[in-house]
Structure 1
Amino acid sequence: MENYDVAVIGGGPGGYVAAIRAAQLNKKVVLIEREHLGGICLNWGCIPTKALLKSAELFQKIKHAEEYGIIVGEPQFDFKKIIQRSREISAQLTAGIKFLLKKNKVTLIDGCAAFETNKILNIDNKGQKFSIQADNIIIATGARARSLEGFITDGKQIITSKEAMILDKLPKSLIIVGSGAIGIEFASFYNALGTKVIILEAKKNILQSEDAEISSIVKKIFTKKGIIFYTNVKLLNHTKQRDHLTIEVEIDGVRQQLSSEILLMAIGIVGNTEHLNLERTKIQVEKGHIVTNQFMETSQPGIYAIGNVTAPPWLAHKASHEGIIAAETIAGLKAHPINKQNIAGCTYSFPQIASVGLTEEKAKNAGYDIKIGKFPASANGKALIDGDSEGLIKTIFDAKTGELLGAHLIGTEVTELIQGYVINKTMEGTEADLINTIFPHPTLSEMMGEAVLQAYGRALHIISE
């Protein structure tokens, strides 16, 4: 039986990073992956969805080319080529991961892993069975889309985000259940290409994790684009016809029927734990996700868990960092635990949405005396140059200490801007650090500085209230 210092189960953005970092720290590492290197993120999530969104964004830009003084004919798109491009990008990145693992001398095993003991894993590679032993094991098996009783996905009329990325043809109508990042991104993509999109949300507001003011702005912008929102929705049942579904819902207590070609379920995820034989260990699972300490170690010493199989937020960049923490802890280094308030969330719709830290409501509920600053994209020169003047940057500070408690952005390229606030929070900076930062001109980043100035009554390019 081959023995390793570290065995990693799952080759997604958490698993492959953990394997590489452990190998860098002179550990003998094996990575077991059952399907695709890169996991959901590279193959069916972050990367391909952003490729789809980029194509849709470019199509919309070309449609409005005359606003920039450019004369073009009526633009058209090839839906199959849009899908193909996203798949090619995913394949290219997956090949790159395989190369990195090889260069770092990580052994790669194709197959499924399950615990025999807390040190021994049984591997099944399409019927070929064998076992390996590891002093430390990192579980990075990810998660899958959560299903809803009575609305089980069939891959054709009721689908998950995976099928939404590889449809054979553009649907004329689409109902999306769930208004989180996944639901909003697919709504943005299909709406931009001409699909009639309806979003159903069980809660009062869309984008539950975002600041309420930002969510309200998103809803107004998307409604103007033709996307229909229903909130306070309860799904009752559905019937399937040959070319569409009829969905019976209750909206604010009133029953009604909605119809569309496809129903996309985007209501969260469930950790992939059921085939690991966790009962042969002391690992604890709560609400479908593995419980860990701040160094990603489970209740079974020597076994760690990272990424979407653990606690939220369920983000690829968090998974990668957790992989580093686990690998460095195993190697005996003093790893720094994650502060979840310093993790940015990004939604790549049109316009984009990005945030870090506390919302206004949560800051108030936590007892903070706060200062709030806002700056609109319509007052920024670069946003006007780009033709993307819809948006807002909102900052929230502790009035007593000047600590940045939260930042909430909506607008063009805000997923790139958010890192500036993340760095400030990570370094425990204050409003003084941001005010004394010289932002280059003309750039979108100037809005970041102005939003801070406005919080302290010093805004230069809008009138401070």
Structure 2
Amino acid sequence: MAFDVAIIGGGPAGYTVAERLAKGGLKIVLFEKRALGGVCLNEGCIPTKTMLYSAKILDTIRNSAKYGITSPEPSFDLPKILQRKTKVVKKLTAGIRAKLTAHNVTMINGEAKVLSAANDQISIKCGEETYSVSKLILCTGSETVIPTIPGLTETVYWTSREALESKEVPESLTIVGGGVIGLEFASLYNSLGSRVTVVEMLDEILPGMDCEVSALLREEYTRKGVKFLLGTKVTSINQSEITLEKQGEQTVMPSEKVLISVGRRPVLTGYGLENLTLERFRNGIAVNEVMQTSQSNIYACGDITGFSLLAHTAVREAEVAANHILGISDKMNYPSVPAVVYTNPEIAGVGETEESLKEKNITYSVKKQPMTFSGRFVTENELFNGLCKVIIGENEKILGVHIFGNPASEIIALAGMAIEHGLTLSQWQRTVFPHPTVGEIFKEV
């Protein structure tokens, strides 16, 4: 069967590029071996945020007296929270399928395997059918990294998948890994009543995020009862006992459940990629600024590139790849991609951090203010002051912005736009922000 472009993987990158190319008049086939929407929609971003929103409502009711509202001690129904999560996922999946169907994208549920790629023709097999295309886009996503820890294979442990499906809240939960996924589950299960401990080998949580903002989030969750063991290594796990090592000393800690959350890695096996001679980057596939691999008629988008492993990065990469194929001028700009941790409160950042600039030996200055310099923030937040931090380079150019406080996830895009378009501090300050909004904090800073 002949198509113009084949796409392997139906996650955010895959379904975005499929829709864009089909709109452009190309004949598209999309292969997905599991569920349309990929990890993000089915067992990652969307289900996690759905449950975190329920937890946020629970937290809000618990603290309502600070806003002049009294209510009985709230309770929650975990099965109903899970039911709502499933309903949200089904609704969004159906929406994606409807859009692809409307644009005549052929969707194949099965595992595709690349057989060959020569003379500008790529041969792909799925089931009993063989497909021929002139261009291929790899969107195979990522998978959970399971570390080699003695006793782990004999232990019933959680990954993010099990943590999203559990119908019971454990009395105690130890999270191995203090990255974004680990912190979001720490937030969720702390709100639901678990005694949460986060074990992180590094000296601070959330590697890659601004250290000052990360420390503020850690301090806030310490106040909420989460225990952080930094600079600590898990040396073995024996069912409900975890052996820890810090500065050469070992301790044994009991825990009802263990959640492994040390990161994710690109999926490079199982799709016939060994039949392609593609250059590697880090632990993924190397691409140029228009998402072409070392073989020009093969593109890679999403987690497989090994850059940021974020859904919105994948969507933007897919847009760039589609535009290049359609002859529209565009290129990928990673410095303007924001990162968010959907805890309560949230943190978010875009661009350079102080740590990254020091490593590159780039001169910079910092301007920062508590979020309470925004009137809207004060009206909606009684529990903490928050922080907005702007990092500035030569000629007042904005290099990075980092926020601690709700709704960081919503306003960080404003900072991303400023970095994307190379605005100076003076140019950004001339932007008119509606009053009162939390986004006004950028003018205050």
Give TM-score scaled by structure 2 length.
0.95
The whole-number CA distance in structure 2 between the counterparts of 1:366 and 1:136 is 37
Match of 1:192 in 2: 191
2:352 to 358, 366, 372: 358
Match of 1:456 in 2: none
1:303 to 291, 298, 303: 298
The whole-number CA distance in structure 2 between the counterparts of 1:150 and 1:216 is 27
Check if 1:428 corresponds to 2:430.
no
2:266 to 249, 265, 271: 271
SS in 1 for 2:396: coil
> Deviation at 1:23?
0.7
Contact 1:147 1:153 in 2 (8 A): no
What does 1:30-179 align with in structure 2 at a 5 Å threshold?
A: 30-118=29-117, 119-124=122-127, 129-150=128-149, 157-179=156-178
Count matched residues.
Answer: 440
- Cα offsets for 1:240-263 (capped at 9, x unmatched): 1xxxx1011102221111111111
- Runs of 5+ unmatched residues, structure 1: 452-465
- Cα offsets for 1:276-332 (capped at 9, x unmatched): 122212123455422222221122231111101112111101101111111222223
AA of the residue aligned to 1:246: E
Contact 1:155 1:163 in 2 (8 A): no
> Deviation at 1:139?
0.7
Identity of aligned residues (%): 35
Summarize the Cα distance change of 1:156–1:383 in structure 2 as closer, same or farther, 3 Å threshold: farther
Match of 2:338 in 1: 344
SS in 2 for 1:144: strand
The whole-number CA distance in structure 2 between the counterparts of 1:43 and 1:355 is 25
Contact 2:186 2:226 in 1 (8 A): yes
The whole-number CA distance in structure 2 between the counterparts of 1:338 and 1:300 is 18
1:374 to 365, 368, 375: 368
- Cα offsets for 1:404-424 (capped at 9, x unmatched): 010000101111010111111
The whole-number CA distance in structure 2 between the counterparts of 1:137 and 1:155 is 40
The whole-number CA distance in structure 1 between the counterparts of 2:11 and 2:255 is 34
What does 1:218-237 align with in structure 2 at a 5 Å threshold?
A: 218-237=217-236
Match of 1:254 in 2: 249
- Cα offsets for 1:209-230 (capped at 9, x unmatched): 1111111111111111110001
Contact 1:363 1:405 in 2 (8 A): no
AA of the residue aligned to 2:353: T
1:385 to 379, 382, 392: 379
Check if 1:283 corresponds to 2:278.
yes
- Runs of 5+ unmatched residues, structure 2: none
Contact 1:156 1:262 in 2 (8 A): no
Which is further off, 361-370 or 150-159? 150-159
Give TM-score scaled by structure 1 length.
0.91
Contact 2:373 2:444 in 1 (8 A): no
For the aligned residue pairs, the C-alpha RMSD in angstroms reads 1.6
What does 1:382-421 align with in structure 2 at a 5 Å threshold?
A: 382-388=376-382, 389-398=384-393, 400-421=394-415
Which is further off, 371-380 or 50-59? 371-380
Summarize the Cα distance change of 1:170–1:110 in structure 2 as closer, same or farther, 3 Å threshold: same
Match of 1:183 in 2: 182
> Deviation at 1:152?
8.0
> Deviation at 1:360?
1.3
